[in-house]
Amino acid sequence: DAIANREMPCTHNWHANVALNISLKALIDEGLENSFIRHNEVAAYCRSMVKKFGLDLYAADEKLSSPTVTAVKIPDGWTWPRLDSALRTHGMAVGGSYGDLYGKVFRIGHMGTQADMDLVIRGMSVLSDVLKI
């Protein structure tokens, strides 16, 4: 009789619903096409800088890359734990990889509100400083 007594057996995930509502409103306000353009421009900039630094993208063909994340091969002379720690020390968090790619590839996210050119420019500056490029 939980329904009749208005008792719930679990806690509602209200904060996720509120967050979804806010993000969808922001997307509608920006416009889908503008959002796609922003993500593509930020991704292109990020990848151009990664290549300028002499790093290798993971995608066999850059056209296959996602507009929301850039996968980069870990540079020679670095391990994933050391690179992750050095970037975090400078305030930049990136993602590692799993399975066969663990320790070989890291991922720079640029999606949603992080698909912001100023943020990615700062991130590329941190990456350059850490790698001494």
What's the pLDDT tens digit per position in 11-40? 888 999 999 999 999 999 999 999 999 999
What kind and span of H or E run contains 73?
Answer: strand 69-73
The token duo for 3 is 């329904």
> How far is Cα 105 from Cα 131, in angstroms, rounded to an integer?
15
Q: Which amino acid is present at 70?
A: T
Cα 96 off chain centre by = 11
- Which carries the bigger pLDDT value, residue 80 or residue 7? 80
CA separation for the pair 100, 50 (Å, rounded): 22
